[in-house]
Structures are given as structure tokens and as C-alpha cells.
Amino acid sequence: MSYNILFPIQQQLTTDNLNYHLKHLVKTHYNMNINKILIEDLKRRLIYESKVRYYTEKGLNKMSLVTYPVKKTYANNFLNQLKLQNRPIPLLSPIMSPRIIGPGLYRPTPLLRKIPVQIFD
């Protein structure tokens, strides 16, 4: 499925597991202290909001992510307020989820040594 991330970083996202990629986005941009994400579903034409909560458990930094649909007017008002505050939204390149096309060219071994691999046509 295809999604557009509207806030805090504008980019296109093609994935089967939205929550996994949103958590990856938040972890990658940890320095931005992301608390809210607005996502547009391109197939269903819905807009979702994800709220991020950071906490520590047993000395480890953790986060939780809650995603729910919102009205388009809410999203438009939120984005218009950002424009009035002159806060630009950075653009990033699209993210595509990895797909397994066929058998790999290597096989992992428990001995961690290089083994020549034969490729058959």
C-alpha cells in the first residue's frame, strides 16, 4: 500500500506494515523528537494521525505508537498553522519496502567462512 507522510517529513512510503516503518522513521530521526505524524493513505483517501510516546523501562529507552484516522479538515488546519509559523517541512526520498525477488547469491553458514556458490541458469 502507498502512503504519503505529511508531517513532520514529507515523503512517500510504500509498505505492507505501516507501524513497522513509522517506528523506523521515528528511531531514525530521534534527534527531531517526533511526537506526531500525519499520514495519508493513497488507496482509501484517508488521513491518519500517529502519536508517539517515549518512555524508559528497566533503563532502556522505548517508544509506543498509536495510529488512528482523523478528518481531513483537522489535517489541513494543522498544516496551514505550520505554514503561518514559517516552519518548512523537509522533503525526503521515497521509501520502498524490501521485497525478496528470488534465491540469494549467498547462503549463511554457522562457520562464517566463504564458500563458493554455484549459480545455475
- What average pLDDT does the chain have? 75
Q: In the prediction, which pLDDT does 27 show? A: 85
At residue 49, does pLDDT exceed 50? Answer: yes
At residue 110, does pLDDT exceed 50? Answer: no
At residue 36, does pLDDT exceed 80? Answer: yes
Cβ atoms within 10 Å of 80's Cβ, excluding its own = 10
Please give the Cα distance from 55 to 58 (Å, whole number).
Answer: 10
The domain ranges of the chain are: 2-96
Q: Band of the pLDDT at 86, cuts 50, 70, 90?
A: low
Residue 32 near residue 8 (C-beta atoms within 8 A):
yes
Q: Band of the pLDDT at 116, cuts 50, 70, 90?
A: low
For residue 23 the three cell numbers come to 517506528
Distance of CA 55 to CAs 3, 7, 61, 87, Å?
A: 27, 22, 6, 27
